[in-house]
Amino acid sequence: MSGEAEMVARGWSTVLGALCASLMITAAEAAAKKATRAKAEQPLMRGCTIAVPPACAGMEAGGQRYVFLGANPLVPVNAGVDIYGTVGGVSVCFGIPVNVTSWKLNRMRCPAR
C-alpha cells in the first residue's frame, strides 16, 4: 500500500471507531433512561380485568368498580394487567372512570367469569 492510501485507511478506521463508540454510549444512555423511567412510574392499578356493562373492561379494587377509558389497544377481559393512567372522566359504563395512558399484561392468573 502506498503511504497516501495507508493514511486514508487509518483515517477511515479512526472515524468508524469513533462512530461505533458514540453509538454504544448513546445506546447505554437510552437504556439507563428507560430503566429510570420504568422504576419511577408505578402502575395505577394491578389485577384481573372484568367485563363491565354495557360494553367496557374494568377492574374491582377496594370494594369499588373501575372502568377503563381510552386504552389503545383495548384492555382484554379476564387477564392480569398493570394499568397506567389517572382516575376521572365520564363513562357510560357502571363504575369509576380511569383514563388509561398505557397498560401491559402481567403474570397474574385470572379466573374466567
What CA–CA distance (Å, rounded) separates 50 from 69? 14
Answer whether 98's CB lies under 8 Å from 83's CB.
yes
Residue 1 has a CB neighbour count (10 Å cut-off) of: 8
> According to the model, what pLDDT value does residue 44 have?
92
CA 79 remoteness from chain centre: 17
Q: What is the pLDDT of residue 62?
A: 87
Identify the pLDDT of residue 66.
95
| Res 61: pLDDT | 87
pTM, entire model = 0.61
Q: List per-block mean pLDDT (blocks of 10 residues) for the chain, which spans 113 residues.
A: 66 59 59 62 91 92 92 92 93 92 92 73
In which order are the strands placed within the sheet that holds 64-69?
45-48, 80-87, 96-105, 64-69, 56-61, 50-52
